[in-house]
Amino acid sequence: MRKVLILLVLLSFGFSFKLACINTNEVLSKSTYFAKLQQEYRKEVLRLRDELTQLKDKIDDLKGKIDSGLLSEKAKEEKLKEYMELQEKYRKLQEEARKKLLSFQRELRERLLERLKRVLSKISKEKALSGVLDCQVLLYKGEVLDITDEVIKGLDKNG
Sequential DSSP letters for 75-92: HHHHHHHHHHHHHHHHHH
What's the confidence (pLDDT) of residue 17?
72
- For the purposes of burial, counting CB atoms within 10 Å of the CB of 155, is it exposed (0-12), middle (13-18) or buried (19 or more)? buried
Exposure letters 22-32 (e unless 16+ CB within 10 A, then b):
bbeebbeebbe
Residues linked to residue 133 through DSSP beta bridges, in sequence order: 21
What's the confidence (pLDDT) of residue 142?
74
Predicted TM-score (pTM) of this structure: 0.78
- Cα–Cα distance measured from residue 140 to residue 52, given in angstroms and rounded to the nearest whole number: 50
Torsion of CA 111, 114, 120, 121, to 10 degrees: -150
Boundaries of domain holding 9 = 2-156
What's the confidence (pLDDT) of residue 130?
87
What's the confidence (pLDDT) of residue 2?
63
What's the confidence (pLDDT) of residue 13?
52
What's the confidence (pLDDT) of residue 145?
86
How many structural domains compose the chain?
Answer: 1
pLDDT (tens, 9 = 90+) of the chain, 159 residues, equals 666 555 555 555 555 678 899 999 999 999 999 999 999 999 999 999 999 999 999 999 999 998 998 989 999 999 999 999 999 999 999 999 999 999 999 999 999 999 999 999 999 999 999 889 898 888 777 777 899 999 999 999 965
